[in-house]
Amino acid sequence: DEAYLYRPLLEIVRVPAVGQLVEHVLKEHSSREETLEFGGQERSLRILARPMPLGEERFGVLITVRDETLIKRIESVRRDFVANASHELKTPLAAIRAYAETLQLGALDDREAAERFVGNIVTQADRINGLVQGMLQLSRVQSGSALKIESFDAREAVEPCVAAAGAMARSKGVKVQAEMPAEPMVIRSDRDGFQTIASNLLSNAVRYTEDGGTVSVLLSSEADWCVFQVQDTGVGIQEKDLERIFERFYRAEKDRSTDTGGTGLGLSIVKHLVQGLGGGVTATSEPGRGSCFEVRLPRFGS
Ligand code: ADP
């Protein structure tokens, strides 16, 4: 830009580190690279300064600036994921090891205790399996390649999910009721994905609702949208957790979630699937009284 021509560098780029970089290159006639962080780690710029011959014995400096903020952020998300996943896997693994060691140290001879310990080992191995399956599913969903768009009846797709939740609910004294449209409701979407969304929300609703509670499912259409709602009269979600429950591994009540077989991945899978299908998901709740999850998907594909 004309306005910048022939003016001292530091008047234009008010970053002393860039001035030092240029001075160094002019003095040494060799390239130099540096990453500069601005605003904490909000912006990360990779600066490459190279000597540029400008005729006999005269040198200029060519500066290339690359914005690496996004790459840095992705790297940090990935690091967090690995740290969280390892942490989640460590607990059941440590339990398996402890039970196995106790068996090795003599509990094998106590038939009753041995059976209990082996049962616990199986439970913990199931938990690890659940985590690994959840992570694989999440990675498939995030890559977006798993989606297969076809026409199907949403009512028919939801029914087996409601039936499965009903069976799980009965064993803990929770009622599941469903309100479906009277006619078939054809939508163009990914059937498996749709069923995963329904199953995850239903299984949460049942798991977080106590004896005597009710889970209500509502399937309806609004203009070109398919609306799927799961409402429960369960423990509810605090306001501070509400905005975070869709994050991977986030659990409002860690103990309760683990006791009921939770992995902290179910809602994250729901969110990515819904987004991949061009829709949206929202959660509302009154702590202690219940929660409501609403999914909206375009009826005619995206
Ligand atoms: P989890 O496997 O722990 O249930 P999710 O990703 O499905 O993981 O849910 C994340 C967290 O959101 C849960 O740990 C729980 O605290 C909260 N949650 C999800 N659904 C409900 C619900 N219907 N009622 C109360 N809390 C819920």
Q: pLDDT tens-digit profile of 235-247?
A: 999 999 998 999 9
Residue with CA at minimum distance from ligand 1 atom 20? 204
Ligand 1 pocket residue status of 137, Cβ below 6 Å: no
CA of 159 to the centre of ligand 1 (A): 22
CA of 19 to the centre of ligand 1 (A): 52
Predicted confidence (pLDDT) at residue 301 exceeds the cutoff of 70: no
pLDDT band at 215 (very low <50, low <70, confident <90, very high): very high
Q: What is the mean pLDDT of the chain?
A: 92
Ligand 1 pocket residue status of 61, Cβ below 6 Å: no
pTM of the model: 0.81
DSSP string, 66-135: EE-HHHHHHHHHHHHHHHHHHHHHHHHHHHHHHHHHHHHTTGGGSHHHHHHHHHHHHHHHHHHHHHHHHH
Q: pLDDT tens-digit profile of 29-83?
A: 999 999 999 887 689 999 999 999 888 888 899 999 999 999 998 998 889 999 9
Predicted confidence (pLDDT) at residue 302 exceeds the cutoff of 70: no
Predicted confidence (pLDDT) at residue 208 exceeds the cutoff of 90: yes
Ligand 1 pocket residue status of 271, Cβ below 6 Å: no
